[in-house]
Amino acid sequence: MAAANFDLKELERRMRVALETLKKEFHGLRTGRASAHLLDPVMVNVYGARMPINQVATVSTPDARTIAVQVWDKSQVSAVEKGIREANLGLNPVIDGTLLRLPIPSLNAERRQELVKLAHKYTEQSRVAVRNVRRDGMELLKKLEKDGAMSKDDHQRNSTKVQELTDKLVKEVDQSLAAKEVEIKQV
C-alpha cells in the first residue's frame, strides 16, 4: 500500500531531534560551576544576522566561577554584551577590551526559581516541536486516506501509532525536565 509514503520512524527521528535540542539547552543551565555551555543559547546580532555566540567569540572557563568570552572583532563587543544580557541568564559582563568576563554568581533561592522557569520554557518549546511533528504526521495520514492511497483502517491504526509515539516522547521530555529541576534545586 501507499503506507510506504508514511514513515513512522521518520516521525520518531524528528521528535527525537526536539528532545536532543532540549537536552542541549539544559546543558546551558549549569548550577554551581561555570560552564562554557551556559552561553550556548545566546544569540548575537552581528553583521546584519543573528548568530550563536560561539561563531563570533571564543568561550572559555578560566576558573570555576568565571566565564571568559574573547570577541574576535573589536567592533562587535557591544553586540555580544547585549546578546548575553538579553539571554536572561543573570550574568553581568565586565568588558576589558575584547574580553568579556562573566562572574558566575552563587545561586540563591530566587535565581534557582528563575532557572527552573527557564527550564520550563525550554521544555514547553520542546513539547510544541513534538506536537508539530505529530500534526504533520496526522495531516499526511488524512491526505493519504483522502487520495485513496490508504484505507480507513490503516489510517486509524497509524494515527494510533503516531499518538502513542507522541505520548512517549512528551513523557521523556517531562522526565528530562524533572531531572533538571532536581539538579537546579539541589543546594
- d(Cα 164, Cα 159) in Å, to the nearest integer? 9
> Which ranges constitute the DSSP H helices of 37-108?
77-86
Q: Are 38 and 142 in contact (CB under 8 A)?
A: no
Q: Are residues 115 and 65 in the same domain?
A: no
Model's pTM, two decimal places?
0.66
Tell whether 143 and 181 lie within a shared domain: yes
CATH code at 125?
1.10.132.20
Cell digits of residue 177: 525536565
CATH code at 67?
Answer: 3.30.1360.40
pLDDT in tens for each of the 187 residues of the chain?
344 478 889 999 999 999 999 988 887 776 666 777 778 888 899 888 899 988 899 999 888 788 999 999 889 899 999 998 888 777 888 888 889 998 887 778 887 888 889 899 999 999 999 999 999 999 999 999 888 888 889 899 999 999 999 999 999 999 999 998 888 887 6
Q: Are residues 99 and 153 in the same domain?
A: no
Number of domains the chain contains: 2
Same domain, 120 and 177: yes
Q: Which domain holds residue 50?
A: 33-103
- 113 and 21, same structural domain? yes
Instruction: Mark whether 13 and 38 lie in a shared domain.
Output: no
* CB-neighbour burial class of residue 144 (10 A; exposed 0-12, middle 13-18, buried 19+): buried
> Do 45 and 94 have their domain in common?
yes
Burial bucket for residue 8 (CB in 10 Å: 0-12, 13-18, 19+): middle
Same-domain status, 158 and 93: no
List Cα–Cα distances, 137 to 10, 81, 166, 167, 170, in angstroms. Answer: 10, 41, 10, 14, 16
The answer on 180 and 126 residing in a single domain is yes
Same domain assignment for residues 171 and 114: yes
Q: Which three cell numbers stand for residue 144?
A: 493519504
